[in-house]
Amino acid sequence: MRTFSAIAGSALFFVAAPGVVAGLLPWLLTDRYRMPQSIVPGFAPVGWILVVGAAAILLHSFARFALEGLGTPAPVAPTEKLVVGGVYRHVRNPMYVAVLSIILGQALIFSSWAVFVYGLIAAAAMLSFVKFYEEPTLARRYGAQYEAYRRAVPGWLPRITPRRD
């Protein structure tokens, strides 16, 4: 896939997937953000740190797919190369971790149990998708390269020091 196509496809998928999962659905659950911020001390600032930090990681991850992998995160237009650079040296699933962090951040900002429960449901769906579709697909597509990467980099809890090739 050409770089421009990879960037355009990734941008479209960014709006369609995390834009809906971490943006639109929590927005609908929080009465379209008309709710006041949490009055629980510390919740709102921690929530904002999670949202902003995770959004940066999410954007970085999408850029890696387009520029390093020459593809998109969408299963219909996968990368030509296994993406293992940048934040992917710390965790195999930074997009899912970032989306869940954004959801958790919003649950804290608005003290919303509905958003928190939604986050748990989203986490279960993501874990299932990774285990039953994504990991087997990557193992078939990239073989030994993916297996070595999988052994070296944790899936969900980032390692402090980056993986070295």
| pLDDT tens by residue, 135-161 | 999 999 999 999 999 999 999 999 999
pLDDT of residue 139: 97
Q: What is the mean pLDDT of residues 35-59?
A: 93
pLDDT of residue 61: 96
160 alpha carbon, distance to own chain's centre: 18
Which residues, including other chains, have CB under 8 Å from residue 129's CB and lie 6 or more apart?
A: none
Q: What is the pLDDT of residues 92-112, one digit of tens each?
A: 999 999 999 999 999 999 999
Domain boundaries, the chain: 3-152
pLDDT of residue 121: 98
d(CA 100, CA 51): 10
